[in-house]
Amino acid sequence: MKEEANMHAGTLQSFEDSMRALEELVRRLERGELSLEEALAAFEEGIRLVRALNERLTEVEARVEVLTRGDNGELKVDPLASPGKE
């Protein structure tokens, strides 16, 4: 169970991972120990991450749904008509 949770955390943390990867690239560039080719590769990777991160922020469609069980016990997901009222 714990392993499962960790595995799951691995995928859901991808945003944070990308963010950390970006920060690490910046650090490496700032340290100035990279060859010009490495620096260019790091820069390109960084820009790619920035783009991916920005896309990731807005890629999930904002929606509120209600999860219920039907008569046959099946799970159903429906849009929430009017939150806070019933």
Partner 1 sequence: MSMVNSSPPVSAPFLSVTELTQLIRQTLEAHIDTVWVVGEISNFRVPSSGHFYFILKDEGAQIAAVMFKGANRGLAFTPHDGLRVLVRGHISLYEPRGNLQLYVDFMEPMGVGSIQLALEQLKQRLQAEGLFAAERKRPLPSLPRCIGIVTALSGAAIRDILTVLQRRFPYVRVVVRPVRVQGKEAPLEIVAALEDLQQLPDIDVVIVGRGGGSKEDLWAFNDERVARAISGCRVPVVSAVGHEIDLTIADLAADVRAPTPTAAATLVVPELAEVLNRIEQQRRLLVTAFTRVVELYRQRLKQLAQRLRDPRHTVENLRLRLDELAERAQLAMARRLEYGRQRLRALADRLTALSPLAVLDRGYAIVKHRPSGQIIRDARGLAAGDIVEMQFARGRAAALVRETEDP
Exposure letters 11-50 (e unless 16+ CB within 10 A, then b): eeeeeeebeebbeebeeeeeeeeeeeeeeeebeeebeebe
Rank residues 61 and 71 by Cβ distance to partner 1 and give the closer one.
61
**48 sits near partner 1 (criterion: CB under 8 A):** no
Amino acid in position 78:
D
Q: Which residues of the chain form contacts with partner 1 (CB under 8 A)?
A: 1, 4-5, 8-9, 12-13, 15-16, 19, 22-23, 25-26, 29-30, 32, 34, 36, 39-40, 42-43, 46-47, 50, 53-54, 56-69, 75, 77, 80, 83-86
